[in-house]
Structure 1
Amino acid sequence: MNRMGKYGSKLAVTALAVAVLAGSGPVPGVSAESGPAGPQAPEEVERFVDAFFNQPDIQKQMAGAAVAVVKDDRVLLNKGYGYANVEQKLPVDPDRTIFRVASVSKVITATGVMQLAEQGKLDLNADVSKYLGEVRIGNRTDVPLTMRHLLMNATGFEYGDLSDSTTTDLSKEVSLKQYLLNNSPTIIRQPGQFYRYDNLGFTIQGYVIEQVAGQPFGDYVQKHIFQPLGMTNSDFRLTSENLKRLAVPYNQLGDILPTLGTVPTEFPGGGMLSTGSDMARFMMAHLNGGKIGSTAILSEATIRDMHKPQLAIHPKLPNMAYGFEYSNRQDANGQYVVEKSGDVDGYHSGMWLIPDQKVGVFITVNKDFEFRKPFFKAFMNHYYPAAGKQADAHGPLSSSLAEFAGTYSDLRNRMWTSRIRAENGKLIVQDPLGEHVLHEIEPLLFQDDQGVKAAFKRNEKGEVQAFYYDLKLDSWSEKLPQPRPYDDVGPQHPYGAYISHLRQLDVIGEESGDNLFRPEQPITREQFIGWLIRWSGIAPSKQKPVFADVADSPYAQHIQAAQELGLIQGSGGDRFFPQQPLTRQEAATIVWRMAFNHLHVTPKEAKIAGHTDSWAVEGVRFAVAKVLYGPEVIEDQNGAADYRSTQPMLRQEAAVLLSRFADHLF
C-alpha cells in the first residue's frame, strides 16, 4: 500500500530493482557451498545475510532492516541491521522494532477470510453482496462479484486505488463501513477475467470479516491470528505504545518522513504493523499446515488452496494464489515460490514462501531504498542455484506474430504503456524500462533474453486481448484500438504522436464535442489536473473539495484527489483558480512531486537557462533532464535549456509532458 495505493511504489520498485545490486552473482564473502540443500544451520544463514548487508552500496544507502529466515518449525535467523532511528543511532531490534509491512497485510486478511470459509461461515463463490449489509457495489456486467474474485485481485473495479488512504491526523477514526459507504466501487469489467492489483478489494474483504464474524476487523485478527500464533507485537492500529517502537521512515534522500495514520483506521489492505519475530511465526504457520506446535489457525487443505495458482494469464505464468502473488519467477531458480510485498512511503517489505522446502524469508526496511529483489535473488542463487539454463526459445510458433503487435495500456496504471512490434520472428516490447526482445517458447508464452517470461490472453473471439510481462508485476495490460484522430492534428503535426498517445489511453477526449484538440491553446489549471489524474489511474476523490473556488469545475474531484496526494497546494489560501492558465514551471513541479513523493525518483541535475522561480527549480530541472518537452525547448551553445518556465503551457506541450514522463521515467 502506498499513498497512491501502491501505484507509485510498484513502478519505482520495478525500476530500482533492475538498477540496484542486480544480484545475479554471489554475495561477496560467501561461498555457494551449501548447494541446493537450502538453508540449514543458523550460523551459516547469518554469515550469508551479514555478507549481503556488508556490501558497500547497501551500507551507504540503507537506514534499518529486519530479516527473518525460517525452515520447518525453526527460526534460522531473526536479526536487525542498521538503525530504527538513524539520528539517535538506535539499532533495529527484530523482537521489538515495529515496521509498517504495508501490503503484506493482505495475506493476513486473506488468512482471516479463509478461516471463515473453512468454517462454512462464508462461501467463496457466492455473490459478495450477501455479506455487505448497507454497502452497495455497482456492477455494469452480468457476472456477480465473489470473495474468490476479491482474493485473486480480479474484481473488475473501475478503480482499485484511492487518493485518501492516509492522514496526518493520528486521532482520526474511520470505520471500514463508513469508508466503503463513502468509496463504494463500480465494476466495469467482468469479475474473474483480468488481473489487476486492488487495494479496495482487500478493504472489502476486511469488512466482510467484520460482517460475518460480528466483531471489528482488528479484534478478529488479534483473536484468531495474532494471539494464537504468539504475534504479540502486531496490530492494525497505530497505538501510542507501538508508535514508541515504530522505526522512523526515511525517503530516498535520507530525510525523515511524517508519521501517517491509515484511512480506514484498521486498513485490511495495508495497515498492519509488525516485527521480524512476529512475521517469522506467521510464515512458520503457513509452511507447517496452518499451525505452530499444537496451535492451528487453518487446516492443511486450506493452506494448500491458499498457496496454489488461482489466476494465471498462462498455466506457466501464474499471477495470483489466494492473497499471495507470483512475480519475478526467473529469480526462483525453478523452485515454487509464493510471495507478497508491501510498499508505503518510507517502508518496504517482502515475504517469500517456498512451500515444498518449508522455507520462508521476510525482510522489512524503513527507507525508500530498494534491495528486496536483489536480496531474494542472492538468497535463491546461494541456497537453490538453478539446475541449468532457462528454457530455450523455439522460434515463432504462432502463424503470425503480427497479431500480438499493438499498444497495450496497463489496467492499473494508465501511464505504463507497452508498445509491441513483430520483427524477424521476435516481439519487441518498448515500455518505461526500455526495449526488450521476446522469443516465443509456447503458444502465447514468451521469454526475454534474461529469462523473464511474458504471455498473452485471447478473448472469446480468439482475438489478442491482454498482455502480462513479469517485469511489471501488478497488472495485465489491455490491447487498445487505434484512436480517432483529431480534425486539427494532422499526421505530420510535431506533437501529434503525444496527443494520439493520450487519446488512445482515454486520458483526453472530445472535451468540446467537436473533435478538435486546439493544440496551441493554453491549458488551464483544472484541465491539466483532470488529465493528470485520469492518466495516473487514481480514482477522483469523493471527499468535499478543500478549495472554495472549484465547486463548479467539471474537474472538482480530480483536483481534490491531486490535493490529497500532495501534488498541488493551491494559491492564496483556499483558492485554486481552476480556469487560470497553467504555467510551464507549475506543470513541471506537479509531475516532479509525483515522481519524487510517490515514485521515489531522486532529483536530477540539468543546465537550465532563462528565469525560473526558486520554488520551481527542482521541477524544471527534472523536466529538462528527462526531456519532457517537444520542439518548443531549444538548448543554447552551452547545453543549457530555456524551459520558458513562466510562460503558459499549451495543450500540445502538456501532452508531451505527460506522455514522455511515463516513457522516460526510469
Structure 2
Amino acid sequence: MLFTISLLPITDYRLPIPDSRFPIPDSRFPIPDSRFPIPDSRFPFIKNLSNLKLVKKTLDRLLKLIQSISLAILIVSVSVLPVFAQDVSNRDLPMVSTADDSQLELTKFHDIEEFSDNFFVNQITENNLTGAVFTLVKDDKIIFSKGYGYANLEDKIPVIPNKTLFRVGSVSKLVTSTAVMQLVEQGKLKLNQDINQYLKEFKIKTDQFKPITVDHLLTHTDGFDVAWVIGGATRCQSKLLSLEKFIRENLPERVRPPGELYVYGDVGLALAGYLVEVVAGIPFSEYIDQTILQPLDMSQSSFQQPLPSQLAANLAVGYQYKNGNYIKQPFTCNKSVPTTALTTTAEDMAHFMIAHLQGGRYGTQRILNDTTVKEMHRQHYTNFPNIPQAAGSTYGFFERFVNNQRIIEHGGSMSGYTNLVFLIPEQKLGFYIAYNRNSLNENLRDDLVQQFLDRYYPVQETIASPTEIITKAIPEAIPEANIPQQYKQQYKQINGGYRFIRYPRKYLVKLAIVLLESGRLFTIKTNQDHTLTIFPGRSKWEEVEPLLFRATDSNMYINFRPDSQGKITGMSMSSHVHLTYEKLPWYETLVLQLGLVVFCVIIFLW
C-alpha cells in the first residue's frame, strides 16, 4: 500500500548539530556562573561515594539527552523521503538516460545533465510528482534525454525516454497543424479559402459573419463560442463517433467575426483535422500515421484510441494527486481526436521537433519544405502589431519572447498527464518535457523555460534589452496636454471589472463562470496622472499611446479595445497571446451576480 511521509526540511526543527567542541546547553544543567568558581582540576572533585553517585547520575542524564537528540535527527531524516513512493529517497530515485552524450563536452550544454537532475529531482520531491522526462535536441540530433521517477508507482517501473509513452493532450494540435500545412504545400488546401468549399456533410453558417478560413482555424481566431463538450471523453467502452459526426453534432455557435480576437480552444483545430480527413480521403489518424509518424520514425506514437496492445504496455500510468494520495486515472477515449489523442514517447517527439528545426527534414525523410516550415513558424496574429517582442500566434504554436529569444511552443494537459514542446527556431534547439500527473501548476513548465534560458541563453549586455528595443519604437509616457480629447472620454471608460474571455456564452455552463472563475477577474482603476492601477496586485501602468499602457516595473504592455462607437469592450496583455479579457457590463460584475444568487436562494427557501 502506498503511503506518504510529510516533507519537512531539517532546518524546520532547529536542531543543533552536535559538536564535541561545544556542549549542547541543557536547562537541566545550569551554565557556570562567574560568581561561582569552576572546580579546579588541582583539587579532587570526587572525594566520596556521594560524588561518584552524582557523576553517574549526571552521565545517565547526558546519555539520555544524546539518545533523544539522535532519535530526533533520525525522525527528521526519514521525513525528507519523497512522498511519491514508500521506500524511495533522493538517492534511490530512478533516472534513466538514453541519448548518446559523447559529444556534449564540446558544446555549451556540457553540464546539461547536472542542470536537468537538479531541476527535476527538486520538482518531483517538492511538488508531489510521480515521473518526468526531459529530452533536448540541437540541430539534427538528440543531445540529452533522461527519465526521472516512475511511469508506474505501484510496480516501480521507471520512466525511460525511448520507451515510456505519455498522452500529450493539446500538443496533438502541433501534429494536426503540420498535416494541414502538408496539404497547403500540395495545393489541396488554401489558407485564405472559405472552409465551406471543402466541407461536404455540413456547412458553417455565414449569415451573420464573414466566412471562416484555414488561417482562422490555425490561429484560434475562428470566432466560434468556446465549447466545453459534456461527454467529450469516454471510457472507450463503445465505438467512438466518427470525427465528422462528432464535429457536426457539437459545433458551437459563432459569436464574433473571424480574425478579430484570439480565443484558444479545440473547435478550430478539430475542424482543421476534419479538413485533413476530407481532403486526403482517408481517416485522420491513418493519414497522420502515413505522412508524419512513419517518415519521422515515430514508431512508438499513435492517435489510435484505445492504443494498440504493443504500445499500451509501455504507457505511463496517469495520476491525480489529492489529499496526500495518488489516484490512478482511467484511460479515456477523446472524441476530438485531432486536438487531444496523440500518445508518444519523449524521443519520438524529439524526431518531430528535429523535423521542425531542420526545415521539415528528419534524416533522409522530409515532411515539409523549408519555405512551408518558415511560413508555419512565422507570426500570423498578435494583439500588439506595433510592439516588438510581443507575443503572438503562428500556425499551431504559441509565440513569445524570453531573454531576447523568440520561442514557439505548445503545452498540453489531460487526465493524468502534462506536457510541453519548446522550440527556439533561430538556435535550432528544442526540448520536450512530460509528467504523468495532472493539475500541475503552469509555473512548473514556465520555471524550466526561464531557468534553462537563464543558464544557456542569458541576456547579453551587448544585445539591446527588450526595454531598449521597445522604447525605440514606442514613445515615453504622454503628457496630459498632448492627449487628444476623444481619448480622454475613453480613458474614463477603462475603469471597471474585466474577465478572461475564454468561456462559453451560449451554454448553461456560463453560470459556473460567475461562481468558479473569480480568479480570472480583476479590476482596473484610472488615476489622475493618466496611469492605471490593476487589482489585485496593485500593479502600476503608464500610458505611452492612447489606450496603450506599459508596466512601470516590467516590459509588459496592455492595450484596450474600443468598438465602432468608441466604447471600451476589452483589453489584452503582451506577454501571452491568449491573455485577452472583456470588460464586464455593470450587471455582470461578481458582487451583483453573487448577490442575485443569494437572493434567489433565500426566496426559494422562504
After TM superposition, the score normalised by the length of structure 1 is: 0.64
Counterpart residue identity of residue 197, structure 2: K
Quick one: which of 194, 200, 215 aligns to 1:133? 200
Inter-partner Cα distance in structure 1 for 2:460 and 2:593: 43
User: CA 1:442–1:211 in 2, change beyond 3 Å: closer, same or farther?
Assistant: same
Quick one: which of 573, 587, 599 aligns to 1:520? 599
Structure 1 residue 66: Cα displacement: 1.3
Residue of structure 2 in register with 1:97 after alignment: 164
Range with bigger deviation, 287-296 or 248-257: 248-257
Residue of structure 2 in register with 1:196 after alignment: 263
Quick one: which of 425, 438, 462 aligns to 2:541? 438
Quick one: which of 402, 410, 429 aligns to 2:500? 410
Counterpart residue identity of residue 477, structure 2: G
Structure 1 residue 296: Cα displacement: 1.1
Cα deviation 1:533-554 (Å, max 9, x = unaligned): xxxxxxxxxxxxxxxxxxxxxx
User: CA 1:242–1:455 in 2, change beyond 3 Å: closer, same or farther?
Assistant: farther
Check if 1:233 corresponds to 2:284.
no
Cα deviation 1:398-450 (Å, max 9, x = unaligned): 8355443332232213532232112354322236xx44333445552533635
Residue of structure 2 in register with 1:375 after alignment: 448
Residue of structure 2 in register with 1:298 after alignment: 368
Check if 1:88 corresponds to 2:155.
yes
Report SS of the residue matched to 2:340.
coil
User: CA 1:439–1:359 in 2, change beyond 3 Å: closer, same or farther?
Assistant: farther
User: CA 1:244–1:474 in 2, change beyond 3 Å: closer, same or farther?
Assistant: farther
Aligned 8 A contact 1:152 1:320 in 2: yes
Inter-partner Cα distance in structure 2 for 1:229 and 1:520: 60
Report SS of the residue matched to 1:251.
strand
Quick one: which of 352, 356, 359 aligns to 1:286? 356
Structure 1 residue 251: Cα displacement: 1.4
Residue of structure 1 in register with 2:332 after alignment: 261
Report SS of the residue matched to 2:477.
coil
Cα deviation 1:357-381 (Å, max 9, x = unaligned): 1111111111133321111110011
Larger Rg: 2
Q: How does 1:146-295 map to 2 (within 5 A)?
A: 146-237=213-304, 238-239=306-307, 240-253=309-322, 254-264=325-335, 267-295=337-365
Aligned 8 A contact 2:382 2:577 in 1: no
Residue of structure 1 in register with 2:90 after alignment: none
Aligned 8 A contact 2:398 2:577 in 1: no
Counterpart residue identity of residue 455, structure 1: N
Inter-partner Cα distance in structure 2 for 1:519 and 1:501: 9
Check if 1:468 corresponds to 2:537.
no
Quick one: which of 394, 399, 410 aligns to 1:326? 399
Aligned 8 A contact 1:166 1:263 in 2: yes
User: CA 1:246–1:124 in 2, change beyond 3 Å: closer, same or farther?
Assistant: same
Report SS of the residue matched to 2:293.
helix
Quick one: which of 366, 383, 386 aligns to 2:436? 366
Counterpart residue identity of residue 354, structure 1: I
Aligned 8 A contact 1:406 1:421 in 2: yes
Report SS of the residue matched to 1:189.
coil
Inter-partner Cα distance in structure 2 for 1:128 and 1:56: 44
Counterpart residue identity of residue 421, structure 1: K
Q: How does 1:610-621 map to 2 (within 5 A)?
A: none
Aligned 8 A contact 1:427 1:438 in 2: yes
Residue of structure 2 in register with 1:551 after alignment: none
Report SS of the residue matched to 1:286.
helix
Counterpart residue identity of residue 242, structure 1: L
Inter-partner Cα distance in structure 2 for 1:438 and 1:343: 33
Q: How does 1:69-84 map to 2 (within 5 A)?
A: 69-84=136-151
Report SS of the residue matched to 2:406.
coil
Residue of structure 2 in register with 1:395 after alignment: 477
Cα deviation 1:161-207 (Å, max 9, x = unaligned): 32322112354322101101211222120001011011111111111
Inter-partner Cα distance in structure 1 for 2:496 and 2:551: 18
Cα deviation 1:600-648 (Å, max 9, x = unaligned): xxxxxxxxxxxxxxxxxxxxxxxxxxxxxxxxxxxxxxxxxxxxxxxx5
Residue of structure 2 in register with 1:27 after alignment: none
Inter-partner Cα distance in structure 2 for 1:209 and 1:38: 44
After TM superposition, the score normalised by the length of structure 2 is: 0.70
Quick one: which of 421, 424, 437 aligns to 2:525? 421
Inter-partner Cα distance in structure 1 for 2:254 and 2:127: 46
User: CA 1:383–1:222 in 2, change beyond 3 Å: closer, same or farther?
Assistant: same
Report SS of the residue matched to 1:76.
strand
Aligned 8 A contact 1:96 1:245 in 2: yes
Residue of structure 1 in register with 2:80 after alignment: none
User: CA 1:396–1:235 in 2, change beyond 3 Å: closer, same or farther?
Assistant: farther
Counterpart residue identity of residue 177, structure 2: A
Report SS of the residue matched to 2:374.
helix
Structure 1 residue 291: Cα displacement: 0.7
Report SS of the residue matched to 1:314.
coil
Structure 1 residue 117: Cα displacement: 0.6
Range with bigger deviation, 239-248 or 199-208: 239-248
Aligned 8 A contact 2:192 2:215 in 1: yes
Aligned 8 A contact 1:109 1:205 in 2: yes
Inter-partner Cα distance in structure 2 for 1:448 and 1:244: 53
Counterpart residue identity of residue 224, structure 1: T
Inter-partner Cα distance in structure 2 for 1:428 and 1:345: 38
Inter-partner Cα distance in structure 1 for 2:576 and 2:426: 26
Inter-partner Cα distance in structure 2 for 1:61 and 1:86: 12
Range with bigger deviation, 442-451 or 421-430: 442-451
Counterpart residue identity of residue 498, structure 2: Y
Aligned 8 A contact 1:41 1:76 in 2: no
Inter-partner Cα distance in structure 1 for 2:393 and 2:339: 16
Residue of structure 1 in register with 2:592 after alignment: 500
Task: State the structure with bigger RCO (CA 8 A, min sep 6), 1 or 2.
Answer: 1
Cα deviation 1:41-87 (Å, max 9, x = unaligned): 56422222112123276455221111111111111112111110112
Counterpart residue identity of residue 601, structure 2: P
Residue of structure 2 in register with 1:9 after alignment: none
Q: How does 1:632-647 map to 2 (within 5 A)?
A: none
Structure 1 residue 104: Cα displacement: 0.6
Aligned 8 A contact 1:40 1:76 in 2: no
Cα deviation 1:472-508 (Å, max 9, x = unaligned): 7635212233339xxxxxxxxxxxx6452569xxxxx
Inter-partner Cα distance in structure 2 for 1:52 and 1:135: 49
Structure 2 regions of 5+ residues with no counterpart? 1-103, 504-512
Q: How does 1:619-658 map to 2 (within 5 A)?
A: none
Report SS of the residue matched to 2:134.
strand
Residue of structure 1 in register with 2:508 after alignment: none
Quick one: which of 115, 119, 142 aligns to 2:186? 119
Q: How does 1:348-359 map to 2 (within 5 A)?
A: 348-359=418-429
Inter-partner Cα distance in structure 2 for 1:108 and 1:145: 21
Counterpart residue identity of residue 169, structure 2: A
Structure 1 regions of 5+ residues with no counterpart? 1-36, 485-496, 504-516, 525-580, 582-647, 651-666
